[in-house]
Amino acid sequence: MLRNREFRQFSILFSLIAAATITMGFVINKLAGILAIVSATAFGTAFFAFTKARYKSIAQISDQIDLVLHNADHLYIGESDEGELSILQSEITKMTLRIREQNDALKKEKEHLADSLADIAHQLRTPLTSVNLILSLLENNSDENERKALIRETKELFVQMDWLLISLLKLSRLDAGIVVFKSEQIDVNNLICAALRPFLIQMELHNINSQIDVPKGMIIQGDCGWLSEAIQNILKNCLESVGDNGKIEIICKDNTLFTEIDIHDSGAGFGKEDLPCLFDRFYRGKNSGATGYGIGLALCKMIITRQGGTITAKNHPQGGAIFSIRFPK
C-alpha cells in the first residue's frame, strides 16, 4: 500500500497528529498520554485494516481487467457492499462484457470476411477457367460456326462475371452502411413492371407466361430503384427454376397492417434442407446441379430489410416456390 501516494501522505499526517496528541496527553498527565497512545493505535490499526481490504478489492478488479486484456475466457468480479466501490465494480463488469461482445463480433466478422473472400475467389475462378478453356479451343478451331458459338459462350461468361462483380460491390456498399435509401411513394404496379422489363425478351424466347394481379393505386414507401433491383433478383431466381413453358404469378394484397407482394413460380420448389439457408450469402443449395452464385437472394433480403420490409420463401402447396415480401403500413 505504501506505493500509493495518497496512503503515504495520510500516514505521515496521521503520525504527526498522533505524536502531537500523545505529547499533549503526557503533558496533562500520564493517564491521558497512555489513553492517547491506545486511541491512536486502535484508530491506526482499524484504518490500516479497512484500507488494506479496499486496496485488495481494487487489486482484484485490476487483475480481472488484466485478464480481459489478455483475452481470458472468463470474467468474475465479486460482489461488494453498497458504495462507490460496488458501483465501480458494476460499471467495470458492464464495460468488460461489452468489450467481450465487441471482440466476439469482430472475430466473427473477420471469419466471415475470410470466408467471403474465399467464396468470391472461387466464384470468379470458375468462369475465368471456362474462358481460358474456350480461348484455347478457339485457337485450334477453324470451323466458323463453332468459333461463333464459342465466342457467344465467352460473352455470356463475361456478362455473368460483370453481374457478379456489380452485385458484390452493392453488397459491400450495403455492408458498409454508405447506401442512403430514398423514402418515396411507389406505385406497386409501376414497380412490378419496371422489375419485369429486363426479362421480357428472355420470357418470350422460353415461352414463360406471366400473370400479374396488382390492385390499382396500391402504394408502398421506399426506394424504387433498389426495390426494383430486389424484385429482379427474385424474378431471376424464378426464371432459372421454371425453365421453358413455365409460369410466374405476381399477386399483390393490401390490408390495414401491411402491403404484400407474392411471387409464385411453377418450378420444382426448394429442398427442405435448403429452406433455412436460402437468403444466406453464397449459399447455392445442396443440389450439386444448382446454378447461380448465391448472391442474388442475399442482396434482395438486405435491400428489403434495410427499408423496413420482410421477405420469406417457401414451397407453394400447388407446386413451385413462392416469395412473399411485406411492407408494414
- What is the rounded average pLDDT of the residues 306-310? 93
Q: Does residue 255 sit in the same domain as residue 190?
A: yes
The count of domains in the chain is 3
pLDDT of residue 85: 65
Of 144, 129, 126, the closest CA to residue 294 belongs to 126
Q: Does residue 210 sit in the same domain as residue 265?
A: yes
Residue 46 lies in a domain: yes
pTM above 0.75, yes or no: no
- State the amino acid at position 309 in one-letter form: G
Question: For residues 213 and 104, which has the higher predicted lDDT (pLDDT)?
Answer: 213
pLDDT of residue 288: 44
The partner residues of 264 in beta bridges, in order of sequence, read 249, 322
Q: Does residue 192 sit in the same domain as residue 259?
A: yes
Task: Write out the DSSP string of 206-234.
Answer: TT-EEEEE--TT-EEEE-HHHHHHHHHHH
Cα separation, 224 vs 222, whole angstroms: 6
Residue 313 lies in a domain: yes
Confidence of residue 142 (pLDDT cuts 50, 70, 90): confident
Do residues 264 and 251 lie in contact, with contact meaning Cβ atoms separated by under 8 Å? yes
Q: Which domain holds residue 250?
A: 184-328
Q: Does residue 249 sit in the same domain as residue 233?
A: yes
For residue 288, give the C-alpha cell: 450439386
pLDDT, tens digit, 9 for 90 and up, residues 243-259: 889 999 999 999 889 99
Confidence of residue 31 (pLDDT cuts 50, 70, 90): confident
Residue 66 lies in a domain: yes
Integer CA distances (angstroms), 135 to 122, 130, 140, 152, 157, in order: 20, 9, 9, 12, 12
pLDDT of residue 329: 83
Residue 52 lies in a domain: yes
Q: Does residue 237 sit in the same domain as residue 142?
A: no
Question: For residues 66 and 221, which has the higher predicted lDDT (pLDDT)?
Answer: 221
Q: Does residue 305 sit in the same domain as residue 228?
A: yes
- Over 60: is that where the pLDDT of 63 sits? yes
Categorise residue 266: left if φ over 0, alpha if ψ from -120 to 50, beta otherwise: alpha
Among 147, 176, 205, identify where a domain stops.
176
Cα separation, 247 vs 210, whole angstroms: 6
Q: Which of 58-72, 146-160, 212-226 has the lowest average pLDDT?
A: 58-72
Q: Does residue 227 sit in the same domain as residue 140?
A: no
Question: For residues 230 and 10, which has the higher predicted lDDT (pLDDT)?
Answer: 230
Q: Does residue 264 sit in the same domain as residue 139?
A: no
Q: Does residue 242 sit in the same domain as residue 293?
A: yes
- What is the rounded average pLDDT of the residues 260-279? 90
pLDDT, tens digit, 9 for 90 and up, residues 162-209: 877 888 788 778 877 788 888 899 999 999 999 999 999 989 999 999
